[in-house]
A and B are shown apart, each in its own frame.
Chain A
Amino acid sequence: MASKVIHAYYNDDDILMQAVKKVKTTKHHIEEVYCPFPVHGLDKAMGLAPTRIAITSFMYGCLGLIVAIVMMNYIMIEDWPQDIGGKPSFTYIQNMPAFVPIMFELTVFFAAHLMVITFYLRSRLWPFKKAENPDVRTTDDHFVMEIEVYSGDEKGLMTMLQESGAVEINQVEK
């Protein structure tokens, strides 16, 4: 972690995008960008890896389906194979149509909730969590690009940021 970072403030998403691309070409490491709303293409421009959260959701859904099948097979077929209204309870497959609604619901339930929990944990969001945005304006109408500073290239970086359309540039000790 660098002990010194530069916070460059922008007031427009298009200007921000151009600045991000420019900083990337000069091989500076963009530590973070704080935005008030999703700027499409920003993650690509910053070179962020794509998120795998949809893959986890798929796996959770499979888990939900397995839970539903195992639960209903045990309860309806193995534990108490009773005759309820003439429904065939000899094998799972014979009475399967009646199990479809709950198989479906549990798949969705697991896929949705576990994915959301994964998202909250991965993005470190929970009640009583302190917000970490450097400036309150980043949830309103300002975009902040945070760049690490290594000794030597500071001046060049500064002038480049000033030319990139930043409305405010702060050097912050971390």
Chain B
Amino acid sequence: MASHYEAPIRKPLVIGDKNYHDVSVDIAAPIEGRANRQWWIVFSIALAALLWGIGAIIYTISTGIGTWGLNKTVNWAWDITNFVWWVGIGHAGTLISAVLLLFRQKWRMAINRSAEAMTIFSVIQAGLFPIIHMGRPWLAYWVVPIPNQFGSLWVNFNSPLLWDVFAISTYLSVSLVFWWTGLLPDFAMIRDRAVKPFQKKIYGLVSFGWTGRAKDWQRFEEVSLVLAGLATPLVLSVHTIVSFDFATSVIPGWHTTIFPPYFVAGAIFSGFAMVQTLLIIMRKVCSLEAYITVQHIELMNIVIMVTGSIVGCAYITELFIAWYSGVEYEQYAFLNRATGPYWWAYLLMMSCNVVSPQVMWFKKIRTSIVISFVISIVVNIGMWFERFVIIVTSLHRDYLPSSWTMFSPTFVDIGIFIGTIGFFFVLFLLYARTFPVIAQAEVKSILKSSGSKYKKLRDAGQPLYQMPTEIAPAREVEVAEVTKPEETAKVGDLLSKLGTFDPDTDKADDLKKVKGIGPKMEQTLNQIGIYTFAQVSRMTDTEYRMLDEITGAFPGRAQRDDWAGQAMKLNKKS
């Protein structure tokens, strides 16, 4: 099988003897099942954190930014730290879905959906901070260059903060359509499996009528590839522009040309760590161990190790350049980081970001799920401190010693951060219950090359498929309205209460005599199996409602016209 050639050295990416249908069933299971108690507990905690955060945000906006721990010298601290941290986390999603697609990495298939969801949800969190850290957030729309009554007063396109607006909104919207387009075939799979009418409707709506024609797939793949090609420079540019907030300033410790690539590397580093944290839990609770294997975890660990090393190199480069520059402000900025009042934050950042990923050189460690989970959390703590150190230690001591000060956050600063974490998990938990968390169409397309079942067949020198032994009989099929099973069940329910009509013994009545039943309605009733006044007279409110559900025509009419009462009289007469 030339089309599915795979080097024997490669380990299977889908373990267990999965075939195409098994993939559908496994991925649809969390959506079709019900949420368990743990889910509700975690969801409630996340919701409580979110509500607390909303309270803190309302308090800030209605009272003023003075409720935060900022001062005249340190005028950016937790707000922008959290902003950059969340944006950074968001980057891994696009990286996994775009860069790994360009490099044809098959292992991305099982993790890209969740990684992209993580991107969307964390960029939403990031997007909150530029608004709420404004002194007058109700004028936020002034950042958009819209013609206006002030003689058309425009924005200044020289500011990196405006670039941020363009970068973040482009990033969020492009990631969203990339994600959604990839979801269409998966939503279609859920739609076609759904048994509950409401579920069918919703997934029919969100799958945009995906039909899976050969031409659709051809375009779909091209669109995915072009979007990946666009998203890759986008993801690099977005964090670059975020880093410009600092790099284009004149502050010692901020004004560095290394920031753009170094921030991007840090973003990948922290983003992959977050993916690792989430997926290690998800594979367990959603029983997706067959798709998110230890190999996936190991490969993510390798990415974390590589980007962690890049970040480490950047730290050393910064230190070297500070020493080499001969600029005493620059030199002091780094001396202050290492030995000043925030030495503990610097030490935490150094140990979490530079030392912890280096343990991944040992195979035993990087294939251990528990250690991977711990390190992934350590990395995110370290990356939070990286942003904090860069922002705060450069601001609190710079050119004028008379402006030197300290910073400490208030409960509002902390509350908003906790709120965004809560919001993130609220979104992610809802996502995990309603979205296909693995791109099933993509996993199916690699199943033959990387599934363990097919690998075994290939190793045994057997063909990857079996021609059906039975010859399919040719059948004539009328394309007719197929009655849905749930409808027949309802009809059965209704008739069991009203009594069935037996054409041999009973005589059909002229139902049109009942006021409100026309020829059309009589036909409908006959189709259901209602022929006699006696049957109609047994109808009560419940039966009326059932009838309305089945016919869907003139809801409430039978009740208003009192069909049962009328039928009772007519029944006595005849």
User: What B residues does A53 contact at CB under 8 A?
Assistant: 219, 222-223, 226
Closest CB in chain B relative to A6 CB, distance in Å: 8
A172 touches B21 (CB 8 A): no
B217 touches A35 (CB 8 A): yes
CA distance A37 to B216 in the complex (A): 10
User: What B residues does A174 contact at CB under 8 A?
Assistant: 479
**Known interface pairs A35-B214, A115-B223; A168-B209 also in contact (CB < 8 Å):** no
Interface bits A3-44 vs B (CB < 8 Å: 1, else 0): 000111101111101000000000000001111111111110
CA distance A131 to B211 in the complex (A): 5
In the complex, A1 has a CB within 8 A of chain B: no
B212 touches A40 (CB 8 A): no
A9's nearest neighbour on chain B, judged by CB, is B472
CA distance A17 to B3 in the complex (A): 11
**Known interface pairs A123-B219, A162-B471; A140-B210 also in contact (CB < 8 Å):** no
CA distance A170 to B479 in the complex (A): 11
B166 touches A32 (CB 8 A): no
* Those of B144-191 within 8 Å (CB) of chain A: 145, 152-158, 160, 162-163, 166-167, 170, 173-174, 177-178, 181, 184-185, 188-189, 191
Interface bits B476-508 vs A (CB < 8 Å: 1, else 0): 111100000000000000000000000000000
B472 touches A168 (CB 8 A): yes
B211 touches A13 (CB 8 A): no
B192 touches A140 (CB 8 A): yes
Stretch at the interface among B199-207, B424-432, B559-567: B199-207
User: What B residues does A167 contact at CB under 8 A?
Assistant: 468, 470, 472
A129 touches B167 (CB 8 A): no
A158's nearest neighbour on chain B, judged by CB, is B474
In the complex, A112 has a CB within 8 A of chain B: yes
CA distance A108 to B233 in the complex (A): 9
B193 touches A75 (CB 8 A): no
B474 touches A131 (CB 8 A): no
CA distance A88 to B470 in the complex (A): 79
Interface of A is mostly: mixed
CA distance A108 to B171 in the complex (A): 9
In the complex, B230 has a CB within 8 A of chain A: yes
CA distance A31 to B273 in the complex (A): 47
User: What B residues does A91 contact at CB under 8 A?
Assistant: none
In the complex, B141 has a CB within 8 A of chain A: no
User: What A residues does B174 contact at CB under 8 A?
Assistant: 108-109, 112-113
B465 touches A15 (CB 8 A): yes
In the complex, A59 has a CB within 8 A of chain B: no
A32 touches B227 (CB 8 A): no
B213 touches A33 (CB 8 A): yes
B441's nearest neighbour on chain A, judged by CB, is A37
CA distance A46 to B218 in the complex (A): 11
In the complex, B448 has a CB within 8 A of chain A: yes
User: What B residues does A171 contact at CB under 8 A?
Assistant: 474-477
User: What A residues does B241 contact at CB under 8 A?
Assistant: 101, 105
* Those of A80-99 within 8 Å (CB) of chain B: 80, 84-85, 87, 95, 98-99
In the complex, A66 has a CB within 8 A of chain B: no
- CB < 8 Å: which of B3, B166, B225, B464 contacts A101? B166
A99's nearest neighbour on chain B, judged by CB, is B157
In the complex, A62 has a CB within 8 A of chain B: no
B218's nearest neighbour on chain A, judged by CB, is A43
A34 touches B212 (CB 8 A): yes
CA distance A15 to B244 in the complex (A): 54
In the complex, A150 has a CB within 8 A of chain B: no
**Known interface pairs A38-B445, A79-B154; A33-B214 also in contact (CB < 8 Å):** yes
In the complex, A72 has a CB within 8 A of chain B: yes
B4's nearest neighbour on chain A, judged by CB, is A14
B160's nearest neighbour on chain A, judged by CB, is A101
B20 touches A36 (CB 8 A): yes
- CB < 8 Å: which of A12, A43, A116, A136 contacts B223? A116
In the complex, B220 has a CB within 8 A of chain A: yes
- CB < 8 Å: which of A35, A39, A120, A162 contacts B208? A120
In the complex, B35 has a CB within 8 A of chain A: no
In the complex, B221 has a CB within 8 A of chain A: yes
B233's nearest neighbour on chain A, judged by CB, is A108
B473 touches A169 (CB 8 A): yes
B164's nearest neighbour on chain A, judged by CB, is A101
CA distance A105 to B471 in the complex (A): 57
In the complex, B1 has a CB within 8 A of chain A: yes
CA distance A130 to B207 in the complex (A): 9
In the complex, B337 has a CB within 8 A of chain A: no
- CB < 8 Å: which of B173, B204, B205, B445 contacts A109? B173
User: What B residues does A36 contact at CB under 8 A?
Assistant: 20, 24, 185, 189, 212, 441, 444
B477 touches A141 (CB 8 A): no
B447's nearest neighbour on chain A, judged by CB, is A37
Interface bits B23-63 vs A (CB < 8 Å: 1, else 0): 01000000000000000000000000000000000000000
B222 touches A51 (CB 8 A): yes
B244 touches A101 (CB 8 A): yes
In the complex, B139 has a CB within 8 A of chain A: no
User: What B residues does A8 contact at CB under 8 A?
Assistant: 472
B214 touches A32 (CB 8 A): yes
User: What B residues does A48 contact at CB under 8 A?
Assistant: 214-215, 218
In the complex, B467 has a CB within 8 A of chain A: yes
CA distance A52 to B475 in the complex (A): 39
Closest CB in chain A relative to B508 CB, distance in Å: 33
In the complex, B543 has a CB within 8 A of chain A: no
Closest CB in chain A relative to B291 CB, distance in Å: 15
User: What A residues does B467 contact at CB under 8 A?
Assistant: 15, 165
User: 23 A-B residue contacts at CB 8 Å?
Assistant: A8-B472, A32-B213, A36-B185, A36-B441, A38-B221, A57-B226, A75-B154, A76-B156, A101-B240, A105-B170, A108-B234, A112-B174, A116-B181, A120-B208, A123-B220, A129-B209, A131-B210, A133-B192, A138-B192, A140-B20, A141-B20, A165-B468, A171-B476
Q: A33-B214, A116-B227 provided; 14 other pairs, C-beta below 8 A?
A: A39-B214, A57-B230, A75-B154, A95-B158, A101-B163, A101-B166, A108-B170, A108-B230, A112-B178, A162-B474, A168-B472, A170-B476, A171-B476, A172-B479
Q: Residues on A close to B: CB < 8 A?
A: 6-9, 11-15, 17, 32-43, 46, 48, 50-51, 53-54, 57, 71-72, 75-76, 79-80, 84-85, 87, 95, 98-99, 101-102, 104-106, 108-109, 111-113, 115-116, 119-120, 122-133, 136-141, 158, 161-163, 165-174
User: What 8 pairs between A and B have smallest CB-CB spacing?
Assistant: A129-B209, A141-B20, A136-B192, A125-B208, A37-B444, A37-B441, A101-B163, A12-B465
